[in-house]
């Protein structure tokens, strides 16, 4: 009888990987993303205000990132994820009717709250599910597959979005956001079937305080701070360009359909690479893999800036842009595996979200600066991006072997 109960539990736990995959996939279909900056501008925002929306996102994450993950550790991982999906659905619905900076800011507020519920919590659920099933060493494969879910529908959604909004008129934008809302609803339905894994912890550590122990882990480990800043600065550098790239490419003569095709190709490549990330460079350490990808990102951003000044054809610019997005994006499951290995299971969601908190703090002054630089020309925020990724690659170069205290 006991064996049957254990087998039934393991069967339910095994389903978590599939459920989380499709929740991630439906939440990230985002057909509006291929024209989202054009959409903001069409409804009256300036490029500086577009950057300010990203600052709203960062501020909300600072305020709610750790509390939401503390909730996940103390309350329930699956309920916190369910709450996150519901908040994302609210954000999608608000976006349909938004026509001012305040309204867009409110939509971003709920979207950021949703992200705060997910960040760390999703990875912790997957990691602990894998651990309870006795497959602790298989975490990189599972995390890679989970990250690939973010791309699976995006293989087609940018192309579909570009086609449906090819005239860039308001009813076409509403159609895209309606599609995103329906997909959010599907993700919410799936979230009700997530099965909570056991949190592996020692009672005295829980009594000592979840937040304190997670904060102590970071404070006492300079290597972990280095890892977090490496990940965050390179991401922010790429995000700055993404925030206005649609207007940049359209001004250079690129069509919406070309952008859509490019992003579809990008998501297909990242999906394949993330899904199979555990197979690449098996003899290399995780940190060496990250260092290599960082240097590739620096090289291609530099090539993009050179190409911009020499006015090369926009198709070549788009190709270079997509390549350095690929090299930055496929770092994420590798980072996740590193951090997950060295955070205690009972407070893993909180620890992972503390790393996201640091990223959000760094984002605010950098995005504000980019919002000012963009008023002088499209090329100037690129210098901020190049500087950030170069700093991450050289100054924050990761040693071959990273050793943390309090390894789980």
Mean pLDDT, the chain cut into blocks of 10 residues (408 residues total): 70 87 94 94 95 94 80 83 96 96 97 88 82 72 80 90 93 96 97 82 43 67 83 95 94 92 93 82 85 96 96 94 95 81 62 75 95 94 97 92 56
Q: In terms of C-beta distances under 8 Å and separation of at least 24 residues, what long-range contacts does 13-18 make, across chains too?
A: 13/129, 13/132, 13/133, 13/195, 13/197, 14/133, 15/193, 15/195, 16/125, 16/126, 16/129, 16/194, 16/195, 16/197, 17/126, 17/129, 17/142, 17/145, 17/146
Residues 328-354: tens digit of each pLDDT: 999 988 887 777 766 666 566 566 666
The pLDDT assigned to 218 comes to: 67
Asked if 329 and 270 count as a contact pair (C-beta separation under 8 A), the reply is yes
Nearest to 69 by CA among 27, 23, 26, 125: 125
- CA–CA distance, 389 with 233 (Å, rounded to integer): 6
Give the model's pLDDT for residue 204: 38
Query: How far is the CA of 304 from the CAs of 265, 317, 323, 324, 357, in angstroms?
Result: 19, 6, 10, 9, 30
pLDDT the model gives residue 343: 63
């Amino acid at each position: 009888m006991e064996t049957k109960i254990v087998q039934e539990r393991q069967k339910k736990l095994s389903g978590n990987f599939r459920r989380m995959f499709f929740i991630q996939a439906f939440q990230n279909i985002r057909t509006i993303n291929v024209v989202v900056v054009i959409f903001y501008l069409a409804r009256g925002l300036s490029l500086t205000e577009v950057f300010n929306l990203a600052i709203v996102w960062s501020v909300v994450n600072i305020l709610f990132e750790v509390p939401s993950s503390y909730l996940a550790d103390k309350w329930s991982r699956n309920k916190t994820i369910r709450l996150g999906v519901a908040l994302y659905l609210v954000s999608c619905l608000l976006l349909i009717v938004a026509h001012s900076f305040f309204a867009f800011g409110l939509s971003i507020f709920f979207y950021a709250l949703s992200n705060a519920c997910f960040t760390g919590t999703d990875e912790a659920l997957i990691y602990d599910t894998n651990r309870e099933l006795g497959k602790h060493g298989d975490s990189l494969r599972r995390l890679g597959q989970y990250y690939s879910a973010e791309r699976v529908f995006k293989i087609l959604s940018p192309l579909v979005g570009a086609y449906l909004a090819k005239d860039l008129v308001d009813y076409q934008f509403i159609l895209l956001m309606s599609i995103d809302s329906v997909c959010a609803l599907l993700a919410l339905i799936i979230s009700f079937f997530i099965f909570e894994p056991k949190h592996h912890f020692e009672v005295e550590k829980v009594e000592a305080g979840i937040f304190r122990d997670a904060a102590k882990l970071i404070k006492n480990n300079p290597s972990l701070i280095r890892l977090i800043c490496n990940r965050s600065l390179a991401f922010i550098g790429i995000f700055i360009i993404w925030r206005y790239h649609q207007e940049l490419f359209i001004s250079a003569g690129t069509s919406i359909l070309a952008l859509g095709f490019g992003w579809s190709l990008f998501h297909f490549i990242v999906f394949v690479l993330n899904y199979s990330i555990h197979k690449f460079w098996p003899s290399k350490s995780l940190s060496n893999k990250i260092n290599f990808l960082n240097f590739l990102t620096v090289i291609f951003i530099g090539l993009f800036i050179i190409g911009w000044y020499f006015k090369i054809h926009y198709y070549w610019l788009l190709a270079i842009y997509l390549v350095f997005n690929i090299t930055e994006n496929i770092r994420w499951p590798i980072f996740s595996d590193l951090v997950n290995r060295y955070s205690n299971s009972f407070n893993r969601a909180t620890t992972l979200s503390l790393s996201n908190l640091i990223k959000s703090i760094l984002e605010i002054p950098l995005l504000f600066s980019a919002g000012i630089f963009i008023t002088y020309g499209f090329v100037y925020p690129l210098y901020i991006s190049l500087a950030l990724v170069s700093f991450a690659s050289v100054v924050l170069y990761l040693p071959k072997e990273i050793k943390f205290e309090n390894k789980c």
